[in-house]
Amino acid sequence: MEVQADDGPGVLHAVTGVIARHQGDITSIAILESQPGETRTYFELGFPGDVEAAAIALQTELSTLSVVRKVELTGTMQRIFGKRIIIIGGGAQVGQVAIGAIMEADRHNIRGEHISVDTIPLVGEQPLAEAVRAVARLPRAKAVVLAGSLMGGEIEKAVREVRDQGLLVVSLNMAGSVPDAADLVVTDPVQAGVMTVMAVSDRAKFTVDRLKKRVF
């Protein structure tokens, strides 16, 4: 659901109050745009019982609020884009991992699954560590692939932190301590992309936990 409303203190409180009265469970929220006088906020909601009827009733009441200008019911990002895989590291390596991930995701998606692939080429220990930690805060992110030639130090610490939060971490077989901290280490970058998609897919029979080794 997307809500276009006035900008100012208390607007979000008024909107979420109506959502609560309709027993809506906010599973995700994002401020899409905020400028003087106007905001656009996206909500993903869950409802008990008849979801469609509850969403229409909520839309009707929200539209009566003086601060709300427009309410639009939309499909959820989970349904449209699905699970996210984030590839981080050196440009050439990122590109090769992306080739494998996109080809494999296409194979699953044409059969009804939804897996999306995002990339960001970065260099430097601190920017890479910050990016790894940020992946754990991204909606629907299920795995991060570290694609480079040398990673360690603060990046390794970040890897261990996001793994503790349930994020799957795949690393290329590179120099540095990051491969020691990752869930899965793959030498070939294209194969790393393929295996990451297989690991997060609901339709694949491949699971990291059942592997007898983790370096390939």
Per-residue pLDDT in tens (0 to 9) along the chain, 216 residues = 899 999 888 899 999 999 999 999 998 888 887 788 889 999 988 888 888 899 999 999 999 999 999 999 988 787 788 899 999 998 889 999 999 999 999 998 898 889 999 999 988 899 999 999 999 988 889 999 999 888 999 999 999 999 999 999 999 999 999 999 999 999 999 999 999 999 988 877 677 767 777 778
| 45, 20 Cβ separation under 8 angstroms | no
pTM for this model (two decimals): 0.79
Q: Tell me the H-state helices in the chain.
A: 11-21, 51-62, 77-80, 91-109, 125-135, 154-164, 178-181, 189-200
164 Cβ contact partners less than 8 Å away, ≥ 6 residues apart: none
Q: How far apart are CA 152 and CA 181, in angstroms?
A: 9
User: Cα dihedral sign for 189, 195, 198, 199?
Assistant: negative
Diameter of the chain measured on Cα atoms: 60
Q: Are 151 and 88 in contact (CB under 8 A)?
A: no
pLDDT at 74: 86
What's the pLDDT score for residue 59? 93
Contacts of 185 (CB under 8 A, 6+ apart): 170, 171, 172, 173, 179, 214, 215, 216
Q: What is the pLDDT of residue 139?
A: 86
Nearby residues of 104 by Cβ (< 8 Å), 6 or more positions away: 193, 194, 197, 198
Q: Which residues lie closer than 8 Å to 67 by C-beta, 6 or more apart?
A: 5, 6, 8, 11, 14, 15
The gap from C-alpha 86 to its chain's centroid, in whole angstroms, comes to 8
The pLDDT value given to residue 61? 92
